[in-house]
Amino acid sequence: MQRFVPARSQMDAALRSSGPNALGIRFHTRSSRAARTFDAVNGLPHEMMRPTGWFQIGWSGDFPTGEIVSRRVCGEEVIVFRTEDGELHGLEAYCAHMGAHLGFGGTLENSCVRCPFHGWAWDTDGQNTNIPYADRPNRAVRMRRWDVIERNGIVLLWHDLDGAGPTWDVPDVFESLGGDVATREYHPDGQIRFGRRTLSPFVVLDNVADPAHFTTVHHQPAVPLVVSAEADEHLFRVRLGFGESWKRDPENATGDALDILQVGVGFSYTALGGKRSPLIVIVLATTPADDETSELFQTVWLERAPGDEEPGRFDERMHHATHQLPYDIEIWENQRYVERPAWTASEVRGFTTLRRWASGFYPAAS
């Protein structure tokens, strides 16, 4: 493991009104465009920072056995801890007794979290198991439990505004990207933590339907070809082809391809490479922390290639794979959502299809 420091749609109609809308997202806005105010980042309502789904909260190594780790996800304070059996668990951070934060001074004893204030103990299901100065535990009160999983060394937490449990799973990175991605050999993952940034996962999500930005932001000589794009329940899959060979004969193209798998709103897998270049596999995670910020994580695997043992070669390849994202982040942090995008004819279908799919991860209008 290596860590690196980083150098007119239905949605628009929804934002022009208050209450339920065609996308099924509940917005609280004013009817007058001039008078409308927004509480969250990128000019979007604060509800857009509370989607349903799995969100990265770190990597496996961030959660050693016996330690209590605090996290903030979608405005909720959560503690996560690994028990002696290696399993990860999540509980609400504030003790149900008198509200002490269990992440500050709390201890883990026999798979139970003990509060630093009065010593109440809570098991992995949020049940009170011990009160030091009482004859028996308080079975009438329970702490909220949060679902936590690990995939490919990445730790994710399930968020649902109404407290419902997981309704879908997170696929393996390599198996889900298809082709021969899973059969290649890779260097241990590189991990980049960009910290909290003033952006919404919704503007990051738009990149999936935006091949045109590759020429200006990433200096590609031409806009890549959208070879395929399809939604499948909680997954949205896109393939982009780079180079003229994709336009002439997509079935036998020799140019690089970028395969993108969006997993819910805040999690995406990409595999870039081709017949002539080794693969780069990247996971980008955007986890809302509160109404103003999201935490960004990037996990990178480089396919092993001849010459990697030469001094500086691996670092050069890693830089090549990761140095572009900060350009996107700068735009996202200073971007404002546009109600009526001046999309070209070639952009309308991609963006509207993606945003309609994304609406399924927000609370339905009542």
Mean pLDDT of 35-63: 84
Share of the chain above pLDDT 90, in %: 67
Model pLDDT, residue 365: 41
pLDDT tens track for 204-220: 999 999 888 989 999 88
Model pLDDT, residue 279: 94
Phi then psi for 240, rounded to 5 degrees? -115, 140
What is the CATH superfamily name and number for domain 53-149? Rieske [2Fe-2S] iron-sulphur domain (2.102.10.10)
Signed CA dihedral, 125, 126, 131, 137: sign only: negative
The structure tokens listed for 291 are 């109404």
Quick check: 309 and 14 in contact, CB under 8 A?
no
Collapsing DSSP to helix, strand or coil, 236 comes out as: strand
Q: Which of these, 173, 192, 188, lies nearest to 314 by C-alpha position? A: 188
pLDDT tens track for 230-260: 999 999 999 888 887 777 777 766 678 889 9
Fold (CATH) for 172-361: Naphthalene 1,2-dioxygenase Alpha Subunit; Chain A, domain 1 (3.90.380)
Taking the model in full, what pTM does it have? Answer: 0.87
Model pLDDT, residue 254: 67
Does 91 have pLDDT greater than 60? yes
Question: How far is Cα 163 from Cα 165, in angstroms, rounded to an integer?
Answer: 7
Q: How do the domains of the chain map onto residue ranges?
A: 53-149, 172-361
pLDDT tens track for 120-131: 999 999 999 999
Burial 105-137 (b: 16+ CB within 10 A, else e): ebbbeeebbbbebeebbbbbebbbbbbeeeeeb
Q: Pick the more confident residue, 25 or 104.
A: 104
